[in-house]
Amino acid sequence: MFPDILKKHRKSLSLSQEQVSKMAGIERSYYTKIENGLRPSVKVAQAIGRVLGIDWTIFFNENCAKNAQIKSA
């Protein structure tokens, strides 16, 4: 569920995967894997959360992912 939220927020901010990955301090290929469902480390989750303005815990808790999606709608 979090991959859809990532893509939605990234696109709403008009950012590319490359831009998000640079801002989060990770490789673009790693970010792409995260958008495809790979769960990141806590540190990376926090960095992506800051960049996209989302709750970083969505990567680890499906209930949080559902709540984040509802709040952003």
pLDDT one-digit tens code per residue, 14-71: 999 999 999 999 999 999 999 999 999 999 999 999 999 999 998 887 655 445 454 4
**DSSP one-letter code for 55:** -
Give the residue carrying structure tokens 């290929």. 29
Q: How far apart are CA 15 and CA 45, in angstroms?
A: 17
Residue 32 Cα distances to 23, 43, 61, 69, 71, angstroms: 14, 17, 20, 20, 24
Kindly report the pTM of this predicted structure: 0.79
Cβ contact 40:31 at 8 Å? no
What one-letter code names the amino acid at 49?
Answer: G
